[in-house]
């Protein structure tokens, strides 16, 4: 399909540090707020103020692409703003209007009913804690006997009905996406009203584990399976009312939809530049997790593009309620050449599967012992693996000599690498190469630095984060939350 997107130049206002500057509205000013770039106010964005079926006046914004044709079933995306923002703010801080113009779907951007904050149903003790520590508690509501009585909960259903009567909306291709508090709100709607949706996505703002699981750690859900997407940026943090550590909360949110969607197997993992993806195929629906290296709380400007291209474009809900998964615009594929190891783990990630390291991956410092004063300085930490693992990860064969104090790897390309206990030298076809750290025999096998072999010998790219080393054949920056995911998989596999 030929692109119908036209980027509009804007007037930069990088010195501005206001939160959602009102002067952005109806202007061509663009700002960079907390890393979240804005676009000029979309020309076709329309404001609506109406009393819907719930008897409450609501405000929302709609974007109808120029190519929309009445009578032709058209997808609908409900995009939900973050706390203290607005519908038009979500429109300018995301690329949903641009993607909609190219792909031909309609987007609506609702305003929170009051105070620019969505009414979330959260456990009572979190309301009390939030109120005691800051002003956040005034925006949270204790558990209700019937949470659907909240105006915001009814609003989305009414908004979908409004759009369906105003436009020719395809009932099988209705989606929701939210940012920050809007992600929590979107997730809440999907858990209760998922049967209305063909997909749900969000960035930042994970839900409280106390809402996702009951006292016996079973998922609480009224809406059934929904194709689900969760983006958490590397420097994002869970909100204060999300119980558990940051790692536990993110894992709990991801695993919630894995349980609901029947995604019990291993994911396909892809790290492409700053973007880290884990793709789960579920029995009922897929689950996608995205982590973004070096980004703070919020949504990347291309989040809408990626969500649409990798998920929303390839899912729909049939009349009988079942979910049909087809090939999305951008195929979901893991890194074929990827290898990952984690310090202290006996299992490794190899080509989107798990295999044995042949021992326990260990960490060794490259120490500088001498110099003025003879101080001890670390020149880096390196993850070492048994030489035998080189064959398991990359092919070829390994032979040992001198009772295991020497080992040679015959690589698939015909080169022969020789290692010796305590030596920093590696012989490659008889020529000396200095490694980053010497070969180690502190255990019953000879260990070598995996990153050095992968980068110096095989020409692979390497990235280390949170004690996990990720290797692949292209530029890739492993991010914190993806490192945790890989480490969790390896820990579960080897029982450590």
Is it the case that residue 427 has pLDDT exceeding 50? yes
- As a whole number of Å, the CA-based R_g of the chain is 26
Within 10 A of 49 (CB to CB), how many other CB atoms are there? 9
Element (DSSP H or E) covering residue 88 = helix 87-92
Domains of the chain: 11-325 (3.40.50.1820), 339-494 (3.30.457.10)
Element (DSSP H or E) covering residue 210 = helix 209-212
Residue-level pLDDT at 1: 45
pLDDT tens digits for 186-225?
A: 999 999 999 999 999 999 989 888 889 988 999 999 999 9
Residue-level pLDDT at 380: 82
Residue-level pLDDT at 5: 84
- Return the SS3 of 493: helix
Give CA–CA dist 33/453, Å, rounded: 42
Is it the case that residue 127 has pLDDT exceeding 80? no
Going from the C-alpha of 300 to that of each of 233, 292, 297, 307, 326, the distances in angstroms are 9, 9, 9, 11, 26
Residue-level pLDDT at 275: 98
Q: Decide if 296 contacts 35 (C-beta within 8 A).
A: yes
Extended beta strands in 161-266, E state:
169-179, 199-203, 228-233
pLDDT tens digits for 241-290?
A: 667 889 999 999 999 999 999 999 999 999 999 999 999 999 999 999 99
pLDDT tens digits for 21-43?
A: 888 999 999 988 767 789 999 99
With vertex at residue 439, the alpha carbon angle to CA 436 and CA 440, rounded to the nearest 5 degrees, is 125
Going from the C-alpha of 337 to that of each of 112, 410, 463, 470, 476, the distances in angstroms are 45, 19, 14, 10, 12
Residue % of the chain over a pLDDT of 70? 91
427: which strand partners?
418, 432
Residue % of the chain over a pLDDT of 90? 74
Give CA–CA dist 332/277, Å, rounded: 9
Longest CA–CA span in the chain (Å) reads 84
Q: Which residue has the tokens 């190219």?
A: 102
Half-sphere exposure of 453 (CA within 13 A, CB side): 31
Joined together, the tokens standing for residue 210 give: 């106390």
Of 127 and 79, the one with more pLDDT: 79
Give the least confident one: 265-269, 335-339, 368-372: 368-372
How would you label 355-380 residue by residue, b for 16+ Cβ within 10 Å and e otherwise? Answer: eebbbbbbebebeeeeeeeeeeeeee
382: which strand partners?
364
Of 403 and 109, the one with more pLDDT: 109
DSSP 63: E
Q: List the one residue out of 317, 320, 79 whose CA is nearest residue 196.
A: 317
Is it the case that residue 123 has pLDDT exceeding 70? no
Q: List the one residue out of 89, 108, 112 whose CA is nearest residue 100.
A: 108
- Sequence-distant (6+) residues with CB within 8 A of 154 are 53, 54, 56, 148
Q: Decide if 405 contacts 397 (C-beta within 8 A).
A: no
Q: Decide if 479 contacts 485 (C-beta within 8 A).
A: no
Give the least confident one: 48-57, 93-102, 423-432: 48-57
205: which strand partners?
none
Q: List the one residue out of 203, 194, 183, 337 whose CA is nearest residue 272.
A: 337
Joined together, the tokens standing for residue 467 give: 């004690």
Could you tell me how many residues make up the chain? 496
Residue-level pLDDT at 226: 98
Q: Is the dihedral of CA 306, 159, 154, 112 positive or negative?
A: positive
Looking at every residue in the chain, the average pLDDT score rounds to 91
Q: How confident is the model at residue 129 (pLDDT cuts 50, 70, 90)?
A: low
Instruction: Write down the number of H helices and E strands in the chain.
Output: 11, 31
Residue-level pLDDT at 117: 84
Annotate 319-333 with DSSP letters as a single string: TTS-EEE---SS---
Is it the case that residue 438 has pLDDT exceeding 60? yes
Give CA–CA dist 394/343, Å, rounded: 19
Give the least confident one: 70-79, 129-138, 202-211, 287-296: 129-138
354: which strand partners?
349
Q: Decide if 449 contacts 471 (C-beta within 8 A).
A: no
Is it the case that residue 147 has pLDDT exceeding 70? no
Q: Decide if 297 contacts 237 (C-beta within 8 A).
A: yes
Q: Decide if 292 contacts 306 (C-beta within 8 A).
A: no
Task: Tell me the backbone φ, ψ of residue 340, rounded to 5 degrees.
Answer: -140, 140
Residue-level pLDDT at 124: 63
Half-sphere exposure of 12 (CA within 13 A, CB side): 4
Going from the C-alpha of 335 to that of each of 7, 24, 413, 449, the distances in angstroms are 31, 40, 21, 22
């Amino acid at each position: 399909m030929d692109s119908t997107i036209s980027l509009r130049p804007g007037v930069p206002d990088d010195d501005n540090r206001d939160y959602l500057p009102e002067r952005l509205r109806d202007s061509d000013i663009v700002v960079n707020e907390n890393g979240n770039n804005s676009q000029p106010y979309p020309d076709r964005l329309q404001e609506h103020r109406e009393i819907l079926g719930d008897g409450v006046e609501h405000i929302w914004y709609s974007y109808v692409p120029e190519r929309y044709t009445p009578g032709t079933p058209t997808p609908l995306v409900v995009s939900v703003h973050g706390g203290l923002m607005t519908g038009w703010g979500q429109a300018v801080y995301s690329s949903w209007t641009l993607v909609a113009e190219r792909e031909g779907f309609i987007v609506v951007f609702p305003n929170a009913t009051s105070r620019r904050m969505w009414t979330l149903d959260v456990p009572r003790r979190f309301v009390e804690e939030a109120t005691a520590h800051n002003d956040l508690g005034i925006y949270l509501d204790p558990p209700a006997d019937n949470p659907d009585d909240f105006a915001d909960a009814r609003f989305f259903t009414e908004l979908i009905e409004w759009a369906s009567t105003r436009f020719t909306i395809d009932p099988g291709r209705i989606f929701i996406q939210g940012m920050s508090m809007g992600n929590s709100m979107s997730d809440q709607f999907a858990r209760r009203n998922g049967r209305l949706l063909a997909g749900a996505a969000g960035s930042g703002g994970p839900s409280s584990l106390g809402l996702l699981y009951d006292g016996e750690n079973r998922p609480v859900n009224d809406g059934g399976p929904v194709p689900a997407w969760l983006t958490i940026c590397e420097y994002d943090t869970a909100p204060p009312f999300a119980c558990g550590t940051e790692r536990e909360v993110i894992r709990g949110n991801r695993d919630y939809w894995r349980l609901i969607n029947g995604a019990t197997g291993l994911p396909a993992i892809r790290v492409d530049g700053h973007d880290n993806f884990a793709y789960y195929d579920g029995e009922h629906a897929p689950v996608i997790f995205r982590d973004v290296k070096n980004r703070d709380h919020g949504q990347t400007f291309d989040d809408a593009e990626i969500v649409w291209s990798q998920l929303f474009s390839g899912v729909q809900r049939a009349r009988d309620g079942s979910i049909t998964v087809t090939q999305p615009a951008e195929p979901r594929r893991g890194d074929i050449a990827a290898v990952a190891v984690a310090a202290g783990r006996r299992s490794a990630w190899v080509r989107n599967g798990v295999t044995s390291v042949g021992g326990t991956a260990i960490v060794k410092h490259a120490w500088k012992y001498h110099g003025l004063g003879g101080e001890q300085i670390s020149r880096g930490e390196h993850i070492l693996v048994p030489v035998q693992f080189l064959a398991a990860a990359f092919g070829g064969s390994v032979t040992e000599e001198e009772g295991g104090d020497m080992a040679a790897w015959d690589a698939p390309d015909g080169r022969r690498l020789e290692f010796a206990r305590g030596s920093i030298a590696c012989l490659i076809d008889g020529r000396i190469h200095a490694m980053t750290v010497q070969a180690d025999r502190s255990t019953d096998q000879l260990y070598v630095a995996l990153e050095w072999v992968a980068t110096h010998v095989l020409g692979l790219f390497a990235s280390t984060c949170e004690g996990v080393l990720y290797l692949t054949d292209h530029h890739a920056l492993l991010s914190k939350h993806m490192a945790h995911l890989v480490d969790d998989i390896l820990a579960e596999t080897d029982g450590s």
